[in-house]
Amino acid sequence: MTTISPRAFAHVRLTVTDIDRSRAFYDDLFGLPVAFELPADADEATRERLSFLFDGVIYQLGDSLFGLRPVASDRFDEDRVGLDHLSFALGSREELVAAATVLDAKGVPHEEIKDIGAGYILEFRDPDNVALELFAPAS
């Protein structure tokens, strides 16, 4: 049997309860460039073309895209079917240490850096309680 052979994720989009709150969190934390968003003064043709955004935003994250979709009616729970957590890659444990300092300065609660054998993780949550992780490979 033939299989499909993806090279990487093309994009991930989180559904959020409050786009302004979530966007402020991710903008402040990561400062990623915006790849797609509906301009406030968009004409009807542009609104139709970008309707897949649901008035959210999609950021450029390296060769991938990361988006926020503002239509959630409940809160995140990693024990339900679907997303368990989202992990962002960093280059080194030192970058994780620096990231912990940034989270502290921004008042974002987080776990301690954990050694998981293959690398290190730093866990925290977004405003909708989505489990997030920063990962750095072992040297």
Model pLDDT for residues 34-70, shown as the tens digit of each residue:
999 998 899 999 999 999 888 899 999 999 999 999 8
Question: Smallest Cα–Cα separation from 50: which of 33, 60, 29, 35?
Answer: 35
Q: Given this model, what pLDDT does residue 80 score?
A: 76
CATH architecture of residue range(s) 7-73: Roll (3.10)
Task: Provide mean pLDDT across the span 119-125.
Answer: 96
Distance, CA of 66 to CA of 117 (rounded, Å): 27
pLDDT (tens digit, 9 = 90+) per residue, 4-29?
Answer: 788 888 899 998 989 999 999 999 99
Q: Given this model, what pLDDT does residue 4 score?
A: 79
CATH number (3.30.70.150, 3.30.70.360, 3.30.750.24, 3.10.180.10) of 84-139 reads: 3.10.180.10
Task: Provide mean pLDDT across the span 69-94.
Answer: 84
What are the start and end residues of each CATH 3.10.180.10 domain in the chain?
7-73, 84-139
Enumerate residues 6+ apart whose C-beta is below 8 A from 55: 19, 38, 70
Q: How confident is the model at residue 73 (pLDDT cuts 50, 70, 90)?
A: confident
Q: How confident is the model at residue 77 (pLDDT cuts 50, 70, 90)?
A: confident
Q: Model pTM?
A: 0.88
Question: In this structure, what token pair is assigned to residue 91?
Answer: 């280059």
